[in-house]
Structure 1
Amino acid sequence: MSTKVEENKETSGKRADKRPARPKKSNGQWKIDGHEPLNKNEIDKAEDNGLNVRARIETIYAKRGFSSIDSDDLHGRFRWWGLYTQRKPGIDGGRTAKLEPHELEDEYFMLRVRIDGGKLTTEQLRTIADISTEFARDSADLTDRQNIQLHWIEIENMPEIWRRLEAVGLQTTEACGDVPRVILGSPVAGIAADELIDPTPAIEEISRRYIGDQSLSNLPRKYKTAITGHPSQDVVHEINDCSFVAVEHPEHGIGYDLWVGGALSVVPRFAERLGAWVAPDQVVETWLGVTSIFRDYGFRRLRNKARLKFLLADWGPEKFREILETEYLGYKLADGPAPAKPLTAGDHVGVHKQTDGRYYIGVSPVVGRVSGTLLGQLVDLAEKYGSTRLRTTPHQKVLLLDIEEKDVETVVAELDALGLSSRKDLFRRSTIACTGIEYCKLAIVETKQTAADTITKLEERLADIEELPHPISFHLNGCPNSCARIQTADIGLKGQIVTTDEGEQVSGFQVHVGGGLASKDRDEAGLGRTVRGLKVTAENLSDYVEKLVRRFLAGRGETETFSEWAHRVDEEELV
């Protein structure tokens, strides 16, 4: 009897071993799993390409008004043309996660003007300024993606807005959506005396050939590009999907080092080098190859796993490079060295000499918040002194180009009178804030005014400190998605509702300390440190930051940066 039982057990075990393995769940990778859409977003994109919605905006929605807009267009395809519904006023942050998107949205739009490489003429900026004052209640924000965002846009005015923008060579095409977003470019491309190579031709060719191309307008999710030829590495390449960073090859000369798979949000991941040197005439086709890999192999089943960083984490850089070279380029890229550590700051604030002997002046609007009126005044000032060129930066700054040496001091003073500082201020220069609850449907707290108020208080309270040993970056984000790059700031603040000691729920922030990208003050990029339970109310923010700065100055080593100090000290020093 016992023998029979043992035999049955053995037989049963063998049967179990021979059962077919459960099929691996599809990731929605087109080249592996086919094109069947596996979620609502993919279904919507398969049914109609987002680029097609413009015709409906111009011929139907602009004529019949907001109530006529199809929901799938409103909440999806409109993004392909730079349009998001903005947050309805009066909805507090505690309700952000409790309400449905349609309950949060107003009948007005944020409009994102795409500015590849940050290059603007005064004619173009005046056009944006006029649109702001006429159609956007004088609103305007400089973003950390080199774009300009307007608010309070009504659908009825979009045909006229597009007409004006396109008449001066601007566009909103693919400023949002599952597409190649704006291409970050060095703000000093073609003018900096210490530039290694001018990336402008590559940026312009990618934009001309592929922005608005339907073969690349259905990517798994958003896709961000950065290209710089400047040694300051001024395009935050470590947190972009595809980046090209100038480097000198010992045999081939100056080209680009290729980085892939960076992004932040709630699962931050830095890009990785593929170890490949890309010649200047290979940049466009290499970009196309990386972008096509994302289109063909990117994960589409789950939206929160659909960024390129997840594919790179799955494959690793070696496999990624192999697929790029064998399936998409048809040739091997040369091996290449890593870029040297930057020796100068990449925000370009201050007065700097150009290659032609003239000067560019970088200024800091407070956390990127400007207005149509201010932009118009900036254009007037530029043209008054013979300049017709400006640049936006990935740090919410703006550069005024081509100023004669004799006019520099006068221009600096007049910019300052407009509230545009070219000084290396303690905090204004290094503070970034996202849109926040004022307009964003995802936000939990207000950011822009909170940041501005905090900067004012800090610069008053810390007036005894003429200059910090190293600039301390200070980033505020209204939600966990990190549009303001909180994990890469010396002091990064993630908006949330905080409970006070008295039990009251108020606006506040979770604190990250010691993050940063590679710079003259850091050897390499690193994520910020979080301390369990470390939260601060918006009201007490300036008190907390002042205390932290003074502790750093009192306890730092001789050459220690804030980030190094923040990662070294005990948690008690950070609370």
Structure 2
Amino acid sequence: MTQAPEHASARPTTSDADTPATGPAAAKARPARAARPNGQWKIDGTTPLNHNEEFKQESDPLQVRERIEQIYAREGFDAITDDDLHGRFRWWGLYTQRKPGIDGGKTATLEPHELEDRYFMLRVRIDGGALSTHQLRTIAQISKDFGRGSADITDRQNIQLHWIEVESVPEIWRRLESVGLSTTEACGDVPRVILGSPVAGIAQDEIIDPTPVIEEIQERFIGDPSLANLPRKFKSAITGHPSLDVVHEINDISFVGVEHPELGAGYDLWVGGGLSTAPRLAERLGVFVTEEQAPDVWHGVVRIFRDYGYRRLRNKARLKFLLKDWGTEKFRQVLQDEYLGYELPDGIEPPLPSSDNDHVGVHPQKGGKFYIGVAPTVGRVSGDILARVADLAEEHGSERVRLTPHQKLLVLDVPGERVKSLSKALAGLGLHARPSEFRRRTIACTGIEYCKLAIVETKQNAAAAVDQLEQRLGDLSRLTPITLNVNGCPNSCARIQTADIGLKGQLVMDDDGNQVPGFQVHLGGGLASKERDEAGLGRTVRGLKVTADGIADYVERVTRQFEKEREDDETFAQWAHRADEEALR
């Protein structure tokens, strides 16, 4: 991973590449002006249609770094202007965290300044989830020195720290950048972290190593001011592994490794995925992309989003809404005619995965060594744990770790004779290579502990449910693997619509008629896996809600009902979509 520049404004722009194609073909491809302006730059012009668009045009958000270093870190929190604090800070991975003690019933009624604390969540950008032990130890020390020991592994292969004071940010950046890490565009209306296969370059059954593509995109485009004002966030994923391990169906753009019968190893291109309150699965664009073409194709798609994405309404400003209106044929034509200047050959669909894609367990890698995948409970770790992982890895001959899109951690390059010792040592930290199925397959978002959007606590509730389910269901969960995703609000950071059981945080009524924290239940969702032929979104049952302290009770009840009613090799998702509503309660 390349080191971020000291100031983003020093990055070269790509103005020549941004010049659109002209002529009859381009004119034919360009959509006509909408009856009501949607803020599409190439159709409606660039006049801002809301305040978010105004502050992004008033000042390049990346330039807020200089103000953080020269003004805010010296003068303190009270000196920060509103548009910087609630807007541009995100371009450098900073969000104010939730003030302790504010219950979820006030999330939607209080103003941002009433919800927020004077501390920040800081997101460390880790493209491809790849870290050296030296980098991991640096993050761990930052956590201990500046973040009260906090650290969460996210389902975007980032590490999030909390309790960060603005006065500490320049020193944190100095430490991160000294080891080739950054927080550049970790948040904001920008190209976010690039998900990559956690076993890139080491898996014995890998189709193509995505590392060169990830590194070229990161080097050429992350921090580029010409891509720092997108309609909203832009999520990318690249894998060359047949397990399809980067949740490619729910990213704005994904490159999925395939072996073309005539053109060899390359990528199948998917666009327009995303969840939140209007979930939509990505679609294949139907093209084959070579390794050499992939960075330019990525650049073309992100510029389509910049130039044609909807900006008038924030809740309609993701790429998935443009793809829905255009369709894949139109999208492919515009990409080729206006942004690439050449046609891409027809592609092939990737085969269904035949192995688990979270990489938990002990697995052989290229060259005769092994990698060990462990499961931190719902991604919650700490600075002390991360430092100890770095120490243990080095003591056992490894200098590389990887994070996964499933809140898991891998240690690479372990000699065979050291696998047992390292696995035991990691288990002593609560990082198990052979966890129960519920500990393995449960993820949770940040929740009300730190997030200003959350209504319900997630990490502790999910962890407590895992402990209870292990005791109650035992080996049954190993026979019937069920994914459980717990989210603190409707925005689906924990991918609730693509889990066997997805829980969406809200206030519910308990048996005594009191309003308490709880969850709406989604059932039967999932992405392509060895148990599932294709991705699909979960169903909801009218009135089906559980209290926050009743997660284990509900999951046990519905799991036992599934075992009672399942037919042959039927999966939980298949059963959940056909079952009577009463069976799901």
Please give the range of the TM-score, normalised by the shorter of the 2 chains: over 0.9
**Shift in CA distance, 485/23, structure 1 to aligned 2, threshold 3 Å:** closer
**Shift in CA distance, 307/95, structure 1 to aligned 2, threshold 3 Å:** same
TM-score, length-normalised on structure 2? Answer: 0.94
Give the distance between the partners of 1:338 and 1:463, measured in 2 at CA: 38
Alignment of 1:133-282 (within 5 A): 133-282=144-293
* Identical positions, percent: 69
Partner of 2:576: 566
Q: Secondary structure at the match of 1:334?
A: coil
Alignment of 1:348-367 (within 5 A): 348-367=359-378
- Structure 2 residue 72 is matched with structure 1 residue 61: yes
8 Å Cα contact 2:94-2:121 kept in structure 1: yes
| Amino acid in structure 2 at the alignment position of 1:504 | N
- Structure 2 residue 538 is matched with structure 1 residue 519: no
| Amino acid in structure 1 at the alignment position of 2:523 | V
| Amino acid in structure 2 at the alignment position of 1:429 | R
Q: Secondary structure at the match of 1:187?
A: coil
Q: Deviations over 1:33-57 (max 9, x none)?
A: 1110110000000000110000000
8 Å Cα contact 2:260-2:347 kept in structure 1: yes
**Shift in CA distance, 572/250, structure 1 to aligned 2, threshold 3 Å:** same
| Amino acid in structure 1 at the alignment position of 2:233 | K
Cα shift at 1:391: 0.2
8 Å Cα contact 2:375-2:435 kept in structure 1: no
- TM-align CA RMSD: 0.9
Out of 489, 505, 512, the residue aligned to residue 479 of structure 1 is 489
Cα shift at 1:466: 6.6
State the aligned residue count: 553
Give the distance between the partners of 2:374 and 2:437, measured in 1 at CA: 14
- Structure 2 residue 457 is matched with structure 1 residue 420: no
Q: Secondary structure at the match of 1:508?
A: strand
Give the distance between the partners of 1:71 and 1:415, measured in 2 at CA: 44
Give the distance between the partners of 2:410 and 2:201, measured in 1 at CA: 13
Q: Secondary structure at the match of 2:324?
A: helix
- Structure 2 residue 560 is matched with structure 1 residue 550: yes
Q: Deviations over 1:203-229 (max 9, x none)?
A: 000001100000100000000000000
Q: Secondary structure at the match of 1:309?
A: helix
Cα shift at 1:490: 0.2
| Amino acid in structure 2 at the alignment position of 1:249 | H
Q: Secondary structure at the match of 1:428?
A: helix
Cα shift at 1:465: 2.5
Give the distance between the partners of 1:313 and 1:370, measured in 2 at CA: 39
Give the distance between the partners of 1:466 and 1:373, measured in 2 at CA: 31
Cα shift at 1:200: 0.1
* Greater gyration radius: 1
Give the distance between the partners of 1:218 and 1:23, measured in 2 at CA: 22
Give the distance between the partners of 1:466 and 1:161, measured in 2 at CA: 42
Alignment of 1:108-147 (within 5 A): 108-147=119-158
Cα shift at 1:467: 2.0
The gaps in structure 2 that reach 5 residues or longer are 1-32
- Structure 2 residue 547 is matched with structure 1 residue 537: yes
Give the distance between the partners of 1:172 and 1:398, measured in 2 at CA: 20
Q: Secondary structure at the match of 2:438?
A: coil
**Shift in CA distance, 326/379, structure 1 to aligned 2, threshold 3 Å:** same
Cα shift at 1:501: 2.7
| Amino acid in structure 2 at the alignment position of 1:402 | D
Q: Secondary structure at the match of 1:273?
A: strand
**Shift in CA distance, 517/57, structure 1 to aligned 2, threshold 3 Å:** same
Q: Which runs of 4+ in 1 moved over 3 A?
A: none
TM-score, length-normalised on structure 1? Answer: 0.95
Give the distance between the partners of 2:560 and 2:435, measured in 1 at CA: 19
Q: Secondary structure at the match of 1:60?
A: helix
| Amino acid in structure 2 at the alignment position of 1:118 | G
Q: Secondary structure at the match of 2:443?
A: strand
Cα shift at 1:304: 0.6
Partner of 2:5: none
8 Å Cα contact 2:436-2:477 kept in structure 1: no
Q: Secondary structure at the match of 1:166?
A: helix
**Shift in CA distance, 139/545, structure 1 to aligned 2, threshold 3 Å:** same
Cα shift at 1:552: 1.0
8 Å Cα contact 2:42-2:308 kept in structure 1: yes
Partner of 1:77: 88
Q: Deviations over 1:440-492 (max 9, x none)?
A: 000000000000000000000112527224x2100000000000000000000
Give the distance between the partners of 2:84 and 2:474, measured in 1 at CA: 51
Give the distance between the partners of 1:529 and 1:322, measured in 2 at CA: 34
- Structure 2 residue 353 is matched with structure 1 residue 342: yes
**Shift in CA distance, 356/464, structure 1 to aligned 2, threshold 3 Å:** closer
The gaps in structure 1 that reach 5 residues or longer are 1-21
Q: Deviations over 1:61-94 (max 9, x none)?
A: 0000000001110000000000000000000001
Cα shift at 1:253: 0.9
**Shift in CA distance, 102/557, structure 1 to aligned 2, threshold 3 Å:** same
Give the distance between the partners of 1:379 and 1:268, measured in 2 at CA: 38
| Amino acid in structure 2 at the alignment position of 1:484 | A
Q: Secondary structure at the match of 2:530?
A: coil
Q: Deviations over 1:226-281 (max 9, x none)?
A: 00000001000000000000011111011100000000000000000010010111
- Structure 2 residue 74 is matched with structure 1 residue 87: no
| Amino acid in structure 1 at the alignment position of 2:476 | I
Give the distance between the partners of 1:95 and 1:453, measured in 2 at CA: 25
Give the distance between the partners of 2:307 and 2:473, measured in 1 at CA: 53
Q: Secondary structure at the match of 1:316?
A: helix
8 Å Cα contact 2:269-2:288 kept in structure 1: yes
| Amino acid in structure 1 at the alignment position of 2:309 | G
Partner of 1:440: 451
Q: Secondary structure at the match of 2:476?
A: coil
8 Å Cα contact 2:253-2:270 kept in structure 1: yes
Q: Deviations over 1:91-128 (max 9, x none)?
A: 00011001011100000000000000000000000000
Out of 500, 506, 520, the residue aligned to residue 510 of structure 1 is 520
Q: Secondary structure at the match of 2:39?
A: coil
Q: Secondary structure at the match of 1:495?
A: strand
Partner of 2:326: 315
Give the distance between the partners of 2:146 and 2:184, measured in 1 at CA: 19
Partner of 2:108: 97
Give the distance between the partners of 1:464 and 1:428, measured in 2 at CA: 13
